[in-house]
Amino acid sequence: MSFGDWIGQLENWVFAVLAFGTLAGAILVVHSRNVIHAALGLVLTLGSLAGLFLLLGAEFVAWTLVMVYIGAVIVLFLFGIMITRAPLGYEIDLSHPTSVKVTAAIVAGSLFALIGWAFLDAFEAVEFAAVDGPTRTADIGISMFTNYVIPFEVMSFLLLAALIGGIVLARQDPEEADE
C-alpha cells in the first residue's frame, strides 16, 4: 500500500488526528513541568485512545475507558495531587536532572525500537480483517460471563482487596490525628 493510497482513506486521517492527540498528551504527561497539565495530558491521551477504540469498533471498551478513567481515575489523581501539596504552578523538581532523563530516554527509546521492529517484522502491511460492524456489547457480556467468569470473579475479589487496602493505608491513626 503506497503512502498516497494510505493518505487517501478518511479513517487514516481520523487516525492521524487521534494519534497526534495521544502522543501529544503522552508527551505532556512525561514532560510537563506543571502537575495539572500532566494530569490533563493524561486526559487527552486517554480520550484519544477511546477515540481509537471507537475507530476500531470496540465501543464498549471505549466508553468504559471514558467513564472509569476520565470520570474516576483522573479525579482520584487530582485529589492525590492536591493532598500531597504538589505545587500547582510550574516546578522544576518534578523530574530528575537531564543526565537521568537521557538514560531514561535511551532505555525507553531502545525499548520502542525493539517492539516497533518486532511489530514491523511480524505484521508488515497486514490490514484489518473485513469489518462487519462494531463488536456488540451483548457478545462481550456473554463471553465474559461464560468463558471468562472465573477471571471475572478473581477480578472482583481483587477490587475488594484494593478497597480494603486503600482504606487501611490512607486512614489516619486515631492517635496521630489527636496530636
Partner 1 sequence: MIVNQFLILGAAVFALGVYGVLSRRNAVMVLLSVELMLGAVNLNLVVFDRAFRDELAAGQIFSLFVIAIAAAEVGIGLAIILLIFRNRSSANVDELDLMKL
Partner 2 sequence: MGWFESGWGLSLIVFLPLVGAVAVLAVPKAREELQKVVALGFALVTFGLSIVLAIQFDYGASEKIQFGTSREWIAAIGSNYTVGVDGISLPMIVLSTFITVLAIVYSWDHWPEPRNPKMFSMLILVLLTGMVGTFVALDLILFFVFFEIVLLPMYFMIGIWGDRTEVRIPVIGKVTEMRLYASIKFFLFTLFGSAFMLLGFIALYFRSGPAGDRTFDMIELAARSDLFTGSFAFWVFAALALGFAVKVPIFPFHTWLPDAHTAAPTVGSVLLAAVLLKLGTYAFIRISIPILPQEALNWAPAIGILAVIGIIYASFACLAQTDMKRLIAFSSVGHMGFVMLGIATMTDIGFNAAIIGMVAHGVITGLMFFIAGSMSHRYHTREMSRLGGNQKLMPIMGAILGLSAMASLGLPGLAGFWGEFMSLLAAFNPNPALNVGLFRTLMVIGAIGTVLTAGYLLWMMQKVNFGEPRESWDDVDLHDVDKWEMMAWVPLVISIIAIGVYPRIVTGATNDAVVELIKNAFGG
Partner 3 sequence: MLTFLATNANQLILATEELGEINDGGLLASLAWLIPVVPMVAAFAIVFFGRRLPHKGWELAMGAMGFVGLYGILLAFATMNGEITYEGAISMGEFGPIVLEWGWMVDGLSSMMYFVVGVVGSLVFIYAKSYMAGDIRFTWFFASFSLFAGGMLVLVAAPNLIQLIVGWELVGVASYLLIGHYWEDHDNSSAAIKAFLVNKVADVGLFLGVIIIGTTAGTFRFSEILAQVAAGENDLLKKFAFLGGLALFIAAMGKSAQFPLHVWLPDAMAGPTPVSALMHAATMVTAGVYLLGRTFPLYFVEGYAVDVRPIIMIVGALTLFLTGLIALVQTDLKKVLAYSTLSQLGYMVAAMGAGAYTAALFHLFTHAFFKGLLFLAAGSVIHSVHSNEMTDMGGLRKYMPTTYKTFVIGSLALAGIFPLAGFWSKDEILVAFGKASGGAANFALYLGIAGAFITALYMSRAVYLTFFGEFKGHGTPHESPKMITVPLVVLAGFSLVAGLINMPGFSSWFTELTAVRFTVMGDYHPKAINFGMAAAGLSAALLGILIGYVLWSKDAETQAARDKFRIPLLYPLLERKYYIDDLYMDGIVRPLRGPVARAVDWFNGHVIDLFVNGAGALAKFVGKYVYRFDQSGLDSAIIASAAATGAGGSVLRLLQSGRVQQYAVMIFAGTVVLVAGFIIF
Residues that bind partner 2 in the complex, under the rule CB under 8 A: 3-4, 7-8, 98
Across 38-67, b (16+ Cβ under 10 Å) vs e yields: bbbbbbbbbbbbbbbbbebebbbbbeebbe
Name the minimum Å distance from CB 124 to partner 1.
Answer: 7
Residues in 18-77 that interact with partner 3 by CB under 8 A = 27
Q: Closest CB to partner 3 among 28 and 35? A: 28
Cβ atoms of 135 and 58 within 8 Å: the answer is yes
Name the minimum Å distance from CB 4 to partner 1.
Answer: 14
The residue range among 6-14, 78-86, 103-111, 143-151 that interacts with partner 3, by the rule CB under 8 A, is: 103-111
What number of chain residues touch partner 3 (CB under 8 A)? 15
Cβ atoms of 14 and 55 within 8 Å: the answer is yes
Cβ atoms of 50 and 68 within 8 Å: the answer is no
Q: Is 25 exposed, middle or buried (0-12, 13-18, 19+ CB in 10 A)?
A: buried
120 makes contact with partner 3 (CB under 8 A): no
17 makes contact with partner 3 (CB under 8 A): no
- The site partner of 3 among partner 3, partner 2, partner 1, none (C-beta below 5 to 8 Å per kind) is partner 2
Give me the residues that bind partner 3 (CB under 8 A), please.
27, 96, 98-100, 102-105, 107-108, 110-111, 114, 118
